[in-house]
Each structure stands twice: as C-alpha cells, then as structure tokens.
Structure 1
Amino acid sequence: MKQTRSHQNQIFLKTPLGTAKISGNESGISAIQILDEEIPSSKEIPDFLQLAAEQLESYFKGNLEKFDLKLKPEGTDFQQKVWKAISAIPFGKTCSYLELSRKLGDEKAIRAVASANGKNPIWVIIPCHRVIGSDGTLTGYAGGIHRKQWLLNHENNISQLSLF
C-alpha cells in the first residue's frame, strides 16, 4: 500500500488584503488563511504549492476567475458538502445562507450551513465571501467584513469589465 506524506508545508504570500498562509502537501491544499500580521512572501515555494501561489496572484491582479487546484480541506462530511456547494457559486455572484441551505435540501439547516461556512479552511478558493444574508447584508466573515466587502467589490468590478 502506497503511503502518502501527511506532512504539511506552508508558504506565505502577500496579497492586497494581508498575508496569505497557504498550507498543503502533494495531496492538495489543506488551508489558506489570511493573517493580520505582515509576513514577507516566501522565497522558496515547493512545486505542489507553486500553482496555488500563482493562481492567487492572478486572482488578485484580476486575471483569474476560476481556480483549478487540488484541494484537501479537513472537515466533517456535512462541512465538505457545504464547501462543495459554496465552490459552485459563480465568480461575481452571491448566494444567501438560506438559498444555500435550500440547495443542500434543508432550509432548517441554515445555522449549520452558516457554521460550516465559517469553518471554511481555504480562504478565497472556497469562496465563502460570496455567501451573504438573505437581506443582502454582509454577515459574519472570519477574515473580517472589510475583506469580504473588498473581495465582492473586486469580483464585481472584474465581471462588469468583462461584459464589454
């Protein structure tokens, strides 16, 4: 039986919203967190994290709307189901927690869906910033509401530009 390395490597990448800490191994990206502290971008990047760094940079430059990376977030089956549904929200669009709960087949699960959304370990790539309140408000966001607003504005500006 082939053994896979479970050791996680991490790199740091400067973004317009702070330093992103990208963690993963050959099996895939397990976490991307946004940090408040300023950490210089990593100089040496393992091959298996290089593509994530490149795609994040392209996203923030406005040149990428859809990520194509091997993801390996750790979570319960329910959390995985929610994160998969969140990943289906198109670039430049939003979805309410209620709509997401309905898509998952149980609108009464709205609190559980919101909780799973809040535990999303892969910032931006699993686009939990695209999930908003039913009334259009930018409800809770682990990275801070200012970052959620920035990401939605960033995507909205790019998708408007691409219409012309």
Structure 2
Amino acid sequence: MLRGAPADIARLRDRLTREAERDDLVDVAFRTVDSPIGGLLLAATPLGLVYVAFEIEDQQAVLEMLATRIGPRVLRAPADPGGVGSPGPASRVLATATEQIDGYLAGRRREFDVALDPALATGFRGEVQRRLAGVAYGRTATYKEIAAALDRPGAVRAVGSACATNPLPLVWPCHRILRSDGALGGYRGGLEAKRRLLAMESAA
C-alpha cells in the first residue's frame, strides 16, 4: 500500500490540475524535462509558452517570479497529457513545446512553431528578444548588429542585457548572439550549454 501511495498522489495531482485548467483556474502550468544540455523547466499560460529555465537556475525562484509577474495560480502540468480527462490549453502548449524542443536538441528540427506568450518580453528588451527569432539556425549575429538592426546602435549593452534576461531561450535563440570580437558573451544557461548549442548547429 505504501508503495502505491506516490502513484496515487501523482494521479490525484494530475486530475486536480486538469480540473483547474478546465475551470480556467490556472495562470501558469509547468513541467520539467531532461535534455542533452541539462534539465529544463518549461512554463506556459493558456496563450502559449512563457518561460524556459535551465538546470543551473533556482527552480523555486523561477516559479515565484512567474507567480508574481504572471499570476499566483502556478501548477505542475499532468505528467501524461494524454491521461484521463482532456488536458487544458497550457498543458497542451507544454506537450507541443516539449516535443519541439526534443526535436531541436536531437537535430531533427530547426524552427519552432509552438504558441508563445510574450508577457515577460516587454519594452526595448522585448523588442530585442523577439528580434532574435530572425537569426537563422546555424547562423550567428553580434550584439552590435542586433542593436543596429533596431536603429539603436548605441544600445549594445542593453542588447546584451536583453539576451541575458530572454524568457524563451532556444525558441528565441539568444545563444546565437556573440560579442563583436567573436567571444561567446554570456548565457543564462551557462557557457557550456551555449558552446554545445552552437556546435550542434554548425555541425548540421
């Protein structure tokens, strides 16, 4: 009986999350997934994928930030989106995002078409972050080039800050942005992850 308890609790949690989503009581749903660059936390609203966090980040701090900036009703998505009961919109977004990120990291996908919620991409930083999607797979750009493309040639440092706070890395590929001297610059997922992503794309 004790051995079965964790599974029973997981099923109950999944059912309650489905019911909460059905009744429009979820602001953010999240799940954690394994990947070649370490564990990822994916978070979505009913509108779309809203945040991707890396293993080196403090998961609890990420969830608290989402609760503060998006809404307090933050729940873990059902482990099996195809289980009993229909998954809610945020859970469906997470299932699609997981599939597409898996495909990208396995070298089977070069672009994303998952629904996005840009709620955390605001102001000039948001302009920069959305611009990143225009840097194609296997290509790179510099912080200076992104600033010039946005008619803000003096905003190189601000572009770097926008990349560092990009809420949707991988999907908005800030790992493709380098310093003018060719150095990697920073990366929220860590420089080793940035090196691996660039090497994967250049080898394709």
TM-score (norm 2): 0.70
Shift of 1:77: 2.1
Shift of 1:5: 6.1
Task: Name the structure where helix makes up a greater proportion of residues.
Answer: 2
Shift of 1:149: 0.4
User: Is 2:41 the counterpart of 1:12?
Assistant: no
Equivalenced residue count is 152
Cα distance in 1 for partners of 2:182, 2:157 equals 17
Cα distance in 2 for partners of 1:27, 1:5 equals 14
Letter in 2 for 1:67: F
Letter in 2 for 1:88: G
Shift of 1:80: 1.6
For residue 78 of structure 1, what is the aligned residue in structure 2? 124
Determine helix, strand or coil for the equivalent of 1:129: helix
Which structure 1 residue ranges, 4+ long, deviate > 3 Å from structure 2? none
Cα distance in 2 for partners of 1:5, 1:88 equals 35
5+ residue gaps, structure 2, are 1-23, 60-77, 82-90
Work out which of the residue numbers 41, 44, 53 in structure 1 matches 2:80. 44
Does the aligned pair in 2 maintain the 1:34–1:123 contact within 8 Å? Answer: no
5+ residue gaps, structure 1, are 159-164
Identity of aligned residues (%): 30
Cα distance in 2 for partners of 1:75, 1:95 equals 20
For residue 144 of structure 1, what is the aligned residue in structure 2? 190
Does the aligned pair in 2 maintain the 1:97–1:132 contact within 8 Å? Answer: yes
Work out which of the residue numbers 137, 154, 158 in structure 1 matches 2:200. 154
Letter in 2 for 1:44: D
Shift of 1:76: 2.0
Determine helix, strand or coil for the equivalent of 2:110: coil
TM-score (norm 1): 0.87
Does the aligned pair in 2 maintain the 1:20–1:32 contact within 8 Å? Answer: yes
The two structures, once aligned, show a CA RMSD in angstroms of: 1.8
For residue 155 of structure 2, what is the aligned residue in structure 1? 109
Shift of 1:43: 3.0
Structure 1 residues 27-38: aligned runs within 5 Å: 27-36=47-56
Cα distance in 1 for partners of 2:80, 2:182 equals 41
